[in-house]
Amino acid sequence: MSKYLDEQKENIKRVNKLVDDLSQADDLREKLKTTREKYNRLLERYEKLDKVFQFHKGIVQNLSSGIITTDMKGHITFLNKSALQLLAYTDKDILGKPMEYLFADSEQAARIYKRVFEQQDMYESKEINLKDARGALIPIGFSTTLFRHGSTQEGVVFIFRDIREQINFRRQMGRMDRLATLGELAAGLAHEIRNPLAGIKTSSEVLLESLSPGDFRTEFIKRIIQEIDRSNGLLQRFFNFAKPSRPKPGFHNLVNIVDSVFVLLRSRLLKRNIEFERTFEQDAVHIYIDEYQFEQVLLNLFLNAMDAMPDGGIIRMHACLEPAYTFEGREEKGAVVIRVEDNGHGIPPEKIENIFLPFYTTKSDGVGLGLSICTRLMDENSGKLEVQSKLGEGTVFSLYLPYVKNIQQES
């Protein structure tokens, strides 16, 4: 009996436990439900946050400005796409490295470090040079801001922009200014010199008329007048150089233009033992330009090339059609490109910046106007002039002319 009772008791206990478990299962189910709801809400919030994060990330990554962040010790913690592209780095090359690694000038870097990381001061539109992965200088304008979490400084944000184009523009404006001054100077000079010339000429002419025919002195006076006219001619040329007349463009055959310049130089080329080689691509033969002004440009470039090769050498001229090209970092439309190349002594890098400036010359007998006039004439003819040079190897001048399709050119 007791066994039977024990069994019954056990059964009742089991049933009770079962009932208990069942009631707990309800609790658990309830708990599970709440947890799932919480989880779903979290997931939803996470997705929202992720969206916001991706949105901001997209903005930061796609900004045309470069962004670099560092910790408070100056170690790089992030670079956006523009920064990586401009500096030609990949994330793994540069993350964690000190920011000063990117500055071209270490003294300047030290000053910036002191101000930003020690004094926690900011920069606004400061211009400096960075160094890219290949060691090339990249001029930039940058600003900094500190970013903080709560009350602690977390790091520094460097926002910067490539200012190469701006610098080129400024340089061009500088050139234009100097050219404008040159124009004024030439005008003033012409005025001042022509007055005394007119005085001498008129006096000479009056004197000449007062002499009787056959007087031996007439010959001398005539020579004085001739020399005055010659001086005036030179003055007129200088005046035209400084303030060229408006171009009268037309369709011309480049081969003919080059030939006419070559004829002028042939004897000098021979004397100096300089070969002249020229090649023209079929499409690049017809150009739209003021032919006399373009002759002047070519003549200047050939004369410079000759001066760069005192011991002889070769001038190569090649004309081709380039569908699209890069000029001073900018993409330009198609052009006829004429390259004048010499294998002379080349231009030292520190001087190359100045060669287009008026009155800049390295020649003892030069005036320093040749290339500035070339630039000006090319500008007037909607063209461009570019130079590349390697010391000891030679120099290439590239003339870019707008490619103008001419229906009549074939006729």
Q: How far apart are CA 253 and CA 282, in angstroms?
A: 11
Residue from 28, 43, 176, 198 in contact with other proteins (CB under 8 A): 198
Tally of CA atoms within 13 A in the half-sphere of 348 that contains its CB: 3
Residue from 49, 95, 206, 211 in contact with other proteins (CB under 8 A): 206
Q: Is residue 318 a contact residue for other proteins (CB under 8 A)?
A: no
Q: Is residue 190 a contact residue for other proteins (CB under 8 A)?
A: yes
- Smallest separation, CB 180 to other proteins (Å): 16
- Smallest separation, CB 223 to other proteins (Å): 15
What's the order of all strands across the beta sheet hosting 126-131?
Answer: 76-79, 66-71, 152-162, 137-149, 126-131
Q: Is residue 191 a contact residue for other proteins (CB under 8 A)?
A: yes
Q: Is residue 28 a contact residue for other proteins (CB under 8 A)?
A: no
Q: Which stretch binds other proteins (CB under 8 A): 133-141, 201-209, 257-265, 330-338?
A: 201-209
- Residue 107 tokens read as 């003294």
Strand pairing class (286-289; 313-322):
unpaired
Q: Which stretch binds other proteins (CB under 8 A): 99-107, 127-135, 228-236, 335-343?
A: 228-236
- Residue 38 tokens read as 């919480």
- Smallest separation, CB 127 to other proteins (Å): 41
Q: Give a three-class secondary structure readout of 125-144.
A: CEEEEEECCCCCEEEEEEEE
Q: Which stretch binds other proteins (CB under 8 A): 85-93, 126-134, 198-206, 346-354?
A: 198-206
Residue from 35, 153, 203, 406 in contact with other proteins (CB under 8 A): 203
365 backbone dihedrals φ, ψ, rounded to 5°: -110, 15
Contact yes or no for 243/233 (Cβ under 8 A): no
Q: Closest CB to other proteins among 32 and 206? A: 206
- Smallest separation, CB 210 to other proteins (Å): 6
Q: Is residue 228 a contact residue for other proteins (CB under 8 A)?
A: yes
Q: Is residue 209 a contact residue for other proteins (CB under 8 A)?
A: yes
Beta bridge partners of 398: 339, 386
Q: How far apart are CA 171 and CA 66, in angstroms?
A: 24
Q: Is residue 234 a contact residue for other proteins (CB under 8 A)?
A: no
Q: Closest CB to other proteins among 244 and 383? A: 244
Q: Closest CB to other proteins among 54 and 203? A: 203
Q: How far apart are CA 190 and CA 236, in angstroms?
A: 8
**Long-range interactions of 289-293: CB distance < 8 A, separation 24+:** 289/247, 289/249, 289/250, 289/252, 289/381, 289/383, 289/401, 290/247, 290/248, 290/249, 290/250, 290/377, 290/380, 290/381, 291/250, 291/252, 291/257, 293/244, 293/247, 293/377, 293/380, 293/381
Q: Is residue 205 a contact residue for other proteins (CB under 8 A)?
A: yes
334 backbone dihedrals φ, ψ, rounded to 5°: -55, 150
Contact yes or no for 268/306 (Cβ under 8 A): yes
Q: How far apart are CA 373 and CA 330, in angstroms?
A: 23
Q: Is residue 194 a contact residue for other proteins (CB under 8 A)?
A: yes
Residue from 49, 187, 255, 367 in contact with other proteins (CB under 8 A): 187
- Smallest separation, CB 213 to other proteins (Å): 15
Residue from 60, 67, 185, 200 in contact with other proteins (CB under 8 A): 200
Q: Closest CB to other proteins among 192 and 353? A: 192
Contact yes or no for 275/265 (Cβ under 8 A): no
Q: How far apart are CA 68 and CA 76, in angstroms?
A: 7
Q: Closest CB to other proteins among 58 and 196? A: 196
- Smallest separation, CB 201 to other proteins (Å): 4
- Residues sharing a CB contact under 8 Å with residue 275, sequence separation 6 or more, in sequence order: 269, 313, 314, 315
Residue from 185, 197, 320, 404 in contact with other proteins (CB under 8 A): 197
Q: Is residue 202 a contact residue for other proteins (CB under 8 A)?
A: yes
Q: Is residue 226 a contact residue for other proteins (CB under 8 A)?
A: no
Using CB under 8 A as the criterion, which residues of the chain lie in contact with other proteins when the complex forms? 187, 190-203, 205-206, 209-210, 228-229, 232
